[in-house]
Chain A
Amino acid sequence: DAGVIQSPRHEVTEMGQEVTLRCKPISGHDYLFWYRQTMMRGLELLIYFNNNVPIDDSGMPEDRFSAKMPNASFSTLKIQPSEPRDSAVYFCASRPGQGNDQPQHFGDGTRLSIL
């Protein structure tokens, strides 16, 4: 079975540009999560969705960040305008159903560099 698929794997762009990260969760998974990983702050949860509905976006750093999930098989994380401090690895994860014993499955991440 295909795992969580993220694109692009690497993105290098200049500050001020719009960046769009994409994620395809595992089919049948009800939850989708976006994380950011940096050396300084470690792994941070940005936002998560349940059945395509955003449930908690308290981790989104500021209004420049937005996330959507138009259907069960696709989500985007957008940064507009981008800043150098947004440079990080962004991970998408998904998991099935209710209950806290279900593990999250992670994609390979998008390594974002803002110059």
Chain B
Amino acid sequence: GDSVTQMEGPVTLSEEAFLTINCTYTATGYPSLFWYVQYPGEGLQLLLKATKADDKGSNKGFEATYRKETTSFHLEKGSVQVSDSAVYFCALSDRRMGANYGGSQGNLIFGKGTKLSVKP
């Protein structure tokens, strides 16, 4: 079945350091890919998305490029801030061509999350 694998944390960085959180996926269809962020005590928020190969999603200085050849969607930021401390989730939403997959279409499959701590 479809799955998402992301690097285990926790990741601890100093302010202004470069961030990479690796995410790879397996999918039998044509997935859209997402990064969600969860701040302490809050729900998940969409950070960015990409819906087809070679698309780059970006938001708040974060970027991720949909790489079909390596089935990856790594999250990057050039200079992290203390306020970026959170848990980051990679997710995919599968799209099947042809037959109507009805209710299974568009469900999110999440990675286990990577906790990022940024120190001043």
Contacts and interface: CB of A to CB of B under 8 A. Distances in A.
A100 B106 contact: yes
Interface in A65-115: 91, 93, 95, 98-109
A106 B104 contact: no
B73 interface: no
Contacts, number: 63
A101 B44 contact: no
Interface of A: 4, 31, 33, 42-43, 45, 48, 50, 55-56, 91, 93, 95, 98-109
Interface of B: 31-32, 34, 36, 41-46, 49, 51, 89, 93-95, 102-108, 110, 112-113
10 contacts: A33-B108, A42-B113, A43-B89, A43-B110, A48-B103, A56-B103, A99-B106, A102-B106, A106-B44, A109-B43
Given A43-B113, A100-B31, A108-B42, 14 more contacts: A4-B43, A48-B103, A50-B103, A55-B103, A56-B104, A98-B105, A99-B106, A100-B32, A101-B32, A102-B106, A103-B46, A104-B108, A106-B45, A109-B43
